[in-house]
Amino acid sequence: MRGAGAAFRFAHLSDPHLTDPSAATFRELLGKRALGYLSWLRRRRHEHRREFLDGLARDLADRGADHTVVTGDLTHISLPQEFLEARDWLRSLASPEQLTVIPGNHDAYVDMPWDVSLGLWSEHMRADVPDTSARSVFPFVRVRGPVAFIALNSAEPMPPLFATGRLGQTQIDRLEHCLVTLANQRVLRVLLIHHPPVPGSEKWRKRLIDAPALCHLLERMPVDMVLHGHQHRPGHTFVRVTGRQIPVFGIPSASAAGLHCAHASTYNEYDVHQDGNRFRVDVKARRWQQETASYTEEAITSLESGSD
Ligand SMILES: [Fe+2]
Ligand SMILES: [Fe+2]
Q: What pLDDT sits at residue 292?
A: 87
Q: How many A from CA of 78 to the centre of ligand 1?
A: 13
Q: How many A from CA of 115 to the centre of ligand 1?
A: 23
Residue 308 reports pLDDT greater than 80? no
Residue 28 reports pLDDT greater than 90? yes
pLDDT class for 5, splitting at 50, 70, 90? low
> Distance (Å, rounded) from C-alpha 164 to C-alpha 195?
8
Q: How many A from CA of 127 to the centre of ligand 2?
A: 23
Q: What pLDDT sits at residue 4?
A: 55
pLDDT in tens, 260-269: 668 999 999 9
Ligand nearest to the Cα of 228, by number: 2
Q: How many A from CA of 26 to the centre of ligand 1?
A: 24
Q: How many A from CA of 195 to the centre of ligand 1?
A: 10
Residue 303 reports pLDDT greater than 70? yes
Ligand nearest to the Cα of 195, by number: 2
Ligand nearest to the Cα of 233, by number: 1
Question: What is the pLDDT averaged over residues 268-277?
Answer: 95
Q: How many A from CA of 156 to the centre of ligand 1?
A: 14
Question: What is the pLDDT averaged over residues 191-207?
Answer: 96
Mean pLDDT over each residue of the chain, to the nearest integer: 95
> Distance (Å, rounded) from C-alpha 73 to C-alpha 305?
30
Q: How many A from CA of 135 to the centre of ligand 1?
A: 26
Ligand nearest to the Cα of 165, by number: 2
Question: What is the pLDDT averaged over residues 139-155?
Answer: 98
Q: What pLDDT sits at residue 154?
A: 98
Q: What pLDDT sits at residue 3?
A: 58
pLDDT in tens, 132-144: 888 899 999 999 9
Residue 146 reports pLDDT greater than 90? yes
Q: What pLDDT sits at residue 134?
A: 83
Q: How many A from CA of 17 to the centre of ligand 1?
A: 7
Q: How many A from CA of 48 to the centre of ligand 1?
A: 10
Prediction pTM value:
0.97
Question: What is the pLDDT averaged over residues 5-19?
Answer: 93
Domains of the chain: 9-306 (3.60.21.10)
